[in-house]
A and B are shown apart, each in its own frame.
Chain A
Amino acid sequence: MEKVLQVSDVTIRFGGLTAVDHVSLEQYKGEILSLIGPNGAGKTTFFNLLTGVYQANEGEIVFKNTDVTKMKAYDRANFGIARTFQNIRLFTSMTVFENILIAHPGCNQEKIIPSVLFPRGMRKKRGAIIEKCQDILRIIGLEDMEDELAINLPYGKQRLLEIGRALATDPQLLLLDEPGAGMNGFEKKELTNVVRFITDVMQKDVLIIEHDMKFIMNISDRIVVLDHGTKIAEGTPSEIQSDEKVIQAYLGSGTFEDDDE
């Protein structure tokens, strides 16, 4: 199977604390890989390393057969890695539509001179961009709320909007950081459908951080478990469910419990 992402021994230290300690993983084309672990395990920090928010102290990140370890965050985004945030970071002063629009490279790479001198000449091009954005809104189910300010959306829809925004960058790899946090059962079903659409129909690769075990076991092809900055286990859902180290890391409870019902 084709390898999309190869992370080798990435490490980052903050002062005396090693937040991510020589973590390696691979992601293959077409698979949904999940990253789980107790709070503070370093999952979001790992995402930040992948996207370039943090620069790794050691290690290598190879994406699409290119070494992106030293690439800046915005370059990585343009190269095909998109993400959502654990604490939603939508552009609150913008509408739903604009949040999607601004992520579209055709929009945010617009140059000054054509925009100022020939705005009418750009109509056709911009029209195509607008259509594409409306397509994405349809995928995430927010096509009726184009003119609404992002901040006025209900929480679950804000999370979907963030996913839509990440999709608008036309990525190859989509990193979702706790996309289901705070969602109820119905919203999680919507989310599952959207993620499946992204991988099955749009042919993109997804790497998810989540805490909802039912959701994870249901959707993942493979799971990687982090604890205290290191990888402690890796495998299919059933392998992980019975892994001793993983069970111990989650405070030694015998079974995984659903956290919504």
Chain B
Amino acid sequence: MNKLKTLQKLKTFKISPKNKAILLAVLVAALVAVPFIITDKYILHIIIACFIYSCLALSLNLIIGLSGQFSLGHVTFYGLGAYITALLMMRLNMSFWLALLISAVCVGIVGCLLALPTLNLRGDYIAVVTLGFGEVFRLILVNAIDVTRGPMGLPNIPKPSIGSFVFDSKIKFYFLGLVIMILVIIFMKRLTASGFGMAMLSMKEDEIAASAIGINPVKYKLWAFVIGAVIAGVMGSFYAVFMGFISPSSFQYSESISMVSMVVLGGLGGIPGSIIGAVVLTILPEALRTFSQYRMIIFGAAMVIMMIFKPNGLWGLDKRVRNIYKLNNIRTLKMKRGAKDGKSAASI
């Protein structure tokens, strides 16, 4: 009898906002503590990879899940950020931070340009065109040997430094990656809970209805692309200095597919979902190293199976917090609902 009661209690256990904040703080504290507890470089590397892919998935989620444009060329922005940063640092002796800024701006501009042809297109066509861009990008990387050294790649990329402090160990990169990821998450949370984010969502759901209430679909599609591109570009810059070596083989079509799988698995539109999808699909292939040859087969099959049984993913838009705009902003309201006088017009 007691067991039944506890079970029932567990099922109806709701996480109050206060508890949520505590859980989050615990999680962050744990993440900060990890590199001091776990010293295995391989595991640290995997976790850093999780950071990178979480941000990539979040940025792609903005494009696919929140603005409804199915981009299969996301690797383009990732790779572009990596190459521009690497080249600026190596050829012009620029500091990482300046190179990061410049490459972010460049990637943003490219993102805007690449988005332009897709604005009038429907789902499948956007996918094909963005796929095409990814391919053209790869071809340029391979063929423009004077600039990119082609298939040989760019080795010996310098490490970032602040004054005399150099990021030369995994732990330092761990914290840099963690900070970047936390910033990206905060950005996404605030964006999706804002009017801008809601307008984007409404545009995704029904362009014509959105136009009828004053929302310009093109503006939001462009912004989604640009912001998603910039975040991916930043992660590319991080990747370049983290690995120290980049080549066209790191930025192939399969990477775009992996990122799409992460977003889809996690659920289009959801922030926790994208992170979960990224973490699962980064760790799983590593954990099953012996089955690495099955990795992409499983990805492909998983995508089909997910769409048949759980099209919303593990944590998609259906799990969105309802009326979050109201919840976030109602605490300052002194007038509570219902205190106002007068009945509704409809009941006169």
Contact = CB atoms under 8 A, between A and B. Distances in A.
Given A90-B209, A107-B325, A116-B194, A143 B345 contact: no
Interface in A80-101: 82-83, 85, 89-95, 97-98, 101
Interface in A26-58: 51-53
Contacts of A72: 211, 216
A93 B205 contact: yes
Given A74-B214, A93-B317, A102-B198, A141 B347 contact: yes
A100 B329 CA distance: 16
B212 A91 contact: no
Given A77-B213, A89-B206, A115-B191, A139 B345 contact: yes
B344 interface: yes
Given A73-B212, A108-B213, A112-B196, A91 B202 contact: yes
Contacts of A124: 332
Contact of A94 (B187, B190, B202): B202
A69 B286 CA distance: 60
Contacts of A85: 209, 212
A78 B212 CA distance: 9
A90 B202 CA distance: 9
Contact of B345 (A106, A126, A141): A141
B344 A130 contact: no
A102 B329 contact: no
Interface string B312-329: 000001101011011011
Interface string B190-225: 110111111101100110111111111100000100
Interface in A138-154: 138-141, 143, 146-147, 149
B208 A89 contact: yes
Given A89-B208, A112-B227, A193-B347, 14 more contacts: A77-B213, A89-B212, A91-B209, A92-B205, A93-B317, A94-B198, A103-B214, A106-B195, A107-B199, A116-B187, A119-B190, A130-B326, A146-B326, A166-B212
A160 B346 CA distance: 10
A89 B212 CA distance: 10
A105 interface: yes
Contact of B323 (A73, A92, A147, A190): A147
Interface stretch (B114-122, B128-136, B242-250, B334-342): B334-342
Contact of B337 (A83, A108, A134): A134
Given A98-B325, A123-B332, A130-B329, A110 B213 contact: no
Contacts of A98: 198, 322-323, 325
A101 B348 CA distance: 25
A107 B6 CA distance: 44
B190 to A, nearest CB: 5
Contacts of B305: none
A163 B190 CA distance: 29
B330 interface: yes
Contact of A74 (B194, B215, B318, B329): B215
A82 B212 contact: yes
A119 B332 CA distance: 13
B191 A116 contact: yes
A169 interface: yes
Interface of B is mostly: helix
Contacts of B332: 123-124, 127
Q: Kindly list the 4 A-B residue pairs having the minimum CB-CB distance in the complex, ordered from nearest.
A: A110-B195, A141-B346, A115-B194, A197-B345
Nearest to B205: A91
A111 B196 contact: yes
A18 B202 CA distance: 32
B346 A140 contact: yes
B195 A109 contact: yes
Contact of B214 (A77, A92, A190): A77
Contact of B333 (A82, A130, A147): A130
A165 interface: yes
A131 interface: yes
B212 A77 contact: yes
17 contacts: A78-B214, A82-B212, A82-B213, A91-B206, A91-B209, A97-B326, A109-B195, A116-B190, A116-B191, A119-B190, A122-B194, A127-B332, A139-B345, A141-B344, A147-B322, A165-B213, A193-B348
Contacts of B320: 93
Contacts of A140: 344-346
A97 B330 CA distance: 13
A75 B212 CA distance: 9
Contacts of A101: 198, 325-326
A93 B346 contact: no
B57 to A, nearest CB: 19
Nearest to A88: B209
B216 A74 contact: yes
A66 B235 CA distance: 48
